[in-house]
Amino acid sequence: MKSNTFYEELLTLGQHLHERERFALYKFFIKAKKNVYKANAVLLSNTKVLNSTIANGEILYQLNGNNVSYSARRNGTTLFQENVRTVKLSSIPRIRVNKLVKFFAQTEVEVIWNFPLQGESLQGEGSYCTLLYPYFDLRCFSDGKNRIVGLVNKLKVEDSDLTDKLKLS
């Protein structure tokens, strides 16, 4: 019997994902999927709409001017959680693409958190969960207070063991 990789295990944890695991997934996605995300950023910029899937969820990205948003739903259902997160983008192309890369990674972590693959962990029914501030906003690391404090706290986050496990899986 084949054992699951650490990444495959995280895809099944859903609401049981710890904060460290979610942040490690985010960092992993930024590095491992950067080229895919960049290509998706260009595609989204051209078409204004992009569909994607991860774990047991479907994502609909929409671009309206300099604002990007996403809606999500569980695979096999018809109703989306509408405009879960909206972020203002820069009009400078390089900065815009970099922000979209981070937005895509954040979105995928949130979809895994809410719509995991079936696994051993029982998932309760509830509302769609997100972080108030995404990982690419330093206020996430200071409870919304201060970006400078957030930067210092972000640098203190110790998750190298988890990111190493993800790289190896």
- For residue 129, the model assigns a pLDDT of 86
Q: Which of 15-19, 57-61, 62-66 has the lowest mean pLDDT?
A: 15-19
- For residue 56, the model assigns a pLDDT of 95
Cβ atoms of residues 39 and 101 within 8 Å? no
Which residues touch 115 (CB under 8 Å, ≥6 apart)? 14, 55, 56, 57, 72, 73, 74, 75
- For residue 115, the model assigns a pLDDT of 94
Q: Give 153's pLDDT tier (boundaries 50, 70, 90).
A: low
Cβ atoms of residues 130 and 87 within 8 Å? no
Name the 3-class secondary structure at 46.
Answer: helix
pTM: 0.89
Of 136, 128, 140, 132, the residue nearest 59 (C-alpha): 128
Name the 3-class secondary structure at 87.
Answer: strand
Cβ atoms of residues 30 and 134 within 8 Å? no
Q: Which of 6-10, 23-27, 46-50, 133-137 has the lowest mean pLDDT?
A: 133-137
Domain locations in the chain?
A: 14-168
Name the 3-class secondary structure at 168.
Answer: helix
Of 22, 46, 11, 38, the residue nearest 140 (C-alpha): 22
Which residues touch 7 (CB under 8 Å, ≥6 apart)? 28, 166, 169
Q: Give 1's pLDDT tier (boundaries 50, 70, 90).
A: very low
* Mean pLDDT taken over the chain: 88
